[in-house]
Structure 1
Amino acid sequence: MIELRHLHYFRTLAETLHFGRAAERLHISQPPLSRQIAVLEEELGVKLFDRSSRRVVLTEAGQRFYLDTATVLAAFEQAKRNALAAARGTAGELSVGFMMSTAYSVTPAITRRYAAQFPQVSLKLTETLPLDLAEDISSGNKDVAIMYRPQDCTGLESVTLYREEMTVVLPPGHRLLEHAVIDPCELAEETFIIVPRRIAPALHDMIYNYCLQFGVTPNIGLEINMQQTIVNLVGEGLGIAIVPRSMRNMRLTTTTFKPLRAAPVIEVVAVWKADNHNPCIETFIESARESCALVSRDEVQS
């Protein structure tokens, strides 16, 4: 059976055309080199060298074999590099699910940075409802989720990527538009548009409990799955909403965002299954944390 060492022996002899010098370069003695070249020729069924007492010359078959083995060895070296990159998480495949609301905050920056840092990783991004993200991670349908912290983290690992204040969004002509900061007590008579608890329990509970702290029981008029739809409906005059601050980046002319007194803060986390050993997860988490740190820094400076 032909082994890689046979190819190295052959190429060294082909380049030196001298058994003694080739053996010296390979750090073996001349007789084993001669035997291995003979084994190679027997396996191939062709003569690679013309030998005489005075010189060694490549045959036509040997010249062809020399050219082709360069490709073989280059492919093997690339395979070694690929294996090492995959083991280090710098190459491979990674499936990431994200909430649509994070498309207005950190997901674009995370994606750009990771794609630039690890171009050999095939990154698949999928927009998914928070309700389904944790299940996708637990079932193995996705490697990482960018989401609000799930209620049940059994078997999951998570790390906080980003924290942002909640803000109130008002429709055109609203009576509170002139207020610099909105007190939750002033929202007692308002109709709220809110995400259903079954879709995003962390976000729903934060909004509801925040209002209760100020003696306000939210009058829920509409329950809508997507944050951007909620903001759009506020712009149509169907109610008010408390949403993550990054939703301002929708830049609708029909809505106005106002800060809240003692505004609550929502966390966006990266979640992955504890026994998922895809090495790309580690590089993604590290890159995502770096990216979100830059986003937070830029927000502070602005």
Structure 2
Amino acid sequence: MIELRHLRYFRVLAETLHFGKAAELLHISQPPLSRQIALLEEALGVKLFDRSRRRVELTEAGRRFYLDTGAVFSAFEQAKRNALATARGDAGELSVGFMMSTAYSITPTVTRRYAAHYPQVNLKLAETLPLDLAEDIYSGNKDVAIMYRPQDCTGLETITIFREPMMVVLPPGHRLRGRDVIDPAELAGEIFIVTPKRIAPALHDMIVSYCLQHGVTPNVGLEINMQQSIVNLVGEGMGIAIVPRSMRNMRLSTTTFKPLKNAPIIEVVAVWKNDNHNPCIATFVESAEQAWRDVEAAWSEEERC
């Protein structure tokens, strides 16, 4: 069987054309080198060197073999670099699921930063309902999820990558459109459009708890899965909604976003299974944390200005 060391012996001899010098460079004695070259020629079925007492020369077959083995060693070195990059999480494949609402906040920032810093990673993104994201992580369909914190984190790792206050979004001509800040008590009697608890329990419970704490029992008129659909329906005059601040980025002319008094803060987290050993997870999480720090710094700069 031809081994990589046989090819290395051959190439050093081909470059020195001297058994003694080649053996010295390879840190072996000359007789074992001669035997290995003979075994290589026997395995190939061709003569690679013309030998005489005074000189060693490559045959035509030897010259061709030298050229071709150069490609072998180049490929081997690239394979080593690829293996090292993959082990560090600098290369490989990563499947990420995200809630559509985060497309208006942190997901574009995170994925742009990650793609720029780790171009060798095949990043696969898929929009998924919060209901399904945790299950995708448990089942292995996704490596990482960008979502609201799951209620049950058994077997999962999570890290916060985004925080933002909730705001109330009002339809055209609403009586509260002129207010700078909305007291939640003023929302009594309004028709609420909310996300069903089974779809996004963390978000649903936050909104309901916030209202109850301020003496308001939400009058739920519509339950809608997607935050952007909720905002659109508010714009159509179907009710009001409490949504993450980033939903303002939809920039609908038919809606008005207003800050809430003592507004609750919603967290977006990166979630992965604790026994998923894909090294790209660590680099993705690191990028997500840095992206969040960059966003916070930008917000602080805007406030100073």
TM-score over 0.5 for the pair: yes
Partner of 1:66: 66
Separation in structure 1 between the aligned mates of residue 178 and residue 29 of structure 2, nearest angstrom: 92
Separation in structure 1 between the aligned mates of residue 119 and residue 23 of structure 2, nearest angstrom: 42
* RMSD (CA atoms): 0.8
Deviation at 1:220, TM superposition (A): 0.6
| Runs ≥4 residues deviating over 2 A | none
Deviation at 1:267, TM superposition (A): 0.5
Separation in structure 2 between the aligned mates of residue 31 and residue 252 of structure 1, nearest angstrom: 83
Separation in structure 1 between the aligned mates of residue 232 and residue 207 of structure 2, nearest angstrom: 18
Partner of 2:51: 51
- Equivalent AA in structure 2 for residue 95 of structure 1: S
Separation in structure 2 between the aligned mates of residue 300 and residue 105 of structure 1, nearest angstrom: 16
Moved more, 22-31 or 135-144: 22-31
**Counterpart of 1:210 in 2: which secondary structure?**
helix
Please list, as runs of the form range in 1=range in 2, the aligned pairs for 1:177-216 lying within 5 A after superposition.
177-216=177-216
Separation in structure 1 between the aligned mates of residue 260 and residue 130 of structure 2, nearest angstrom: 25
**Counterpart of 1:272 in 2: which secondary structure?**
strand
- Equivalent AA in structure 2 for residue 273 of structure 1: K
Structure 1 segments unaligned to the other structure (5+ residues): none
Partner of 2:125: 125
Please list, as runs of the form range in 1=range in 2, the aligned pairs for 1:149-228 lying within 5 A after superposition.
149-228=149-228
Q: Deviations over 1:15-48 (max 9, x none)?
A: 1111111112112221111111111111111000
Partner of 2:107: 107
Partner of 1:249: 249
**Matched pairs, number:** 302
Q: Deviations over 1:219-264 (max 9, x none)?
A: 1111000000000111111111000000011111111110000000
**Counterpart of 2:93 in 1: which secondary structure?**
strand
Separation in structure 2 between the aligned mates of residue 80 and residue 39 of structure 1, nearest angstrom: 27
Deviation at 1:82, TM superposition (A): 1.2
Partner of 1:300: 300
2:90 is aligned with 1:90: yes
Structure 2 segments unaligned to the other structure (5+ residues): none
- Equivalent AA in structure 1 for residue 243 of structure 2: V
**Counterpart of 2:267 in 1: which secondary structure?**
strand
Partner of 2:4: 4
- Equivalent AA in structure 1 for residue 4 of structure 2: L
Moved more, 28-37 or 134-143: 28-37
Q: Deviations over 1:132-173 (max 9, x none)?
A: 000110111111000000111111111111110000111111
Q: Deviations over 1:110-150 (max 9, x none)?
A: 10011111111111000000000001101111110000001
Deviation at 1:300, TM superposition (A): 2.4
